[in-house]
Structure 1
Amino acid sequence: MTKRNQHITPHRDGWQVRGAGSEKATSVHSTQAEAISHGRDISRNQGSELLIHGRNGRIRARDSHGSDPYPPNG
């Protein structure tokens, strides 16, 4: 499976989950929360990053699910 960052962006029917570089949405949801939940599952499975965009298209939050090269000691 290709590691691809997932983007949550506005869609004419609500909010979409779209892999980086993809023309088509992976899925479309009526709420941003539903799209974030689905996108988070995908990015966890792929070990990629989730980028959450606001209605204006700008990135408002990031959630990294890749391997951490500097894990906390403990």
Structure 2
Amino acid sequence: MTGPISREDRARTMRWVKIVFVLLVGVSAGLITSQGDASLEIVVGAIVGGLLLGIALVWYLFPEPEELAPATDYEYRK
């Protein structure tokens, strides 16, 4: 039987989810731009813009780990 997920594990997992999400948005912006035969400068600009957009989306969409499950270990065991 397993116990509750610790705050550290939850925070580490959410950090990785946020990083992967930002990279996914940035790389997809670059890939879409490269499909249109754009110059290298435009593709790099799209990647940077996509990374900035990804950061803004993560800030807006993803809650902090404490807001996901604010219960204490004692409340989990009831």
TM-score in terms of structure 2 length: 0.31
Q: Which has the higher helix share?
A: 2
Structure (1 or 2) with the larger CA radius of gyration: 2
TM-score in terms of structure 1 length: 0.32
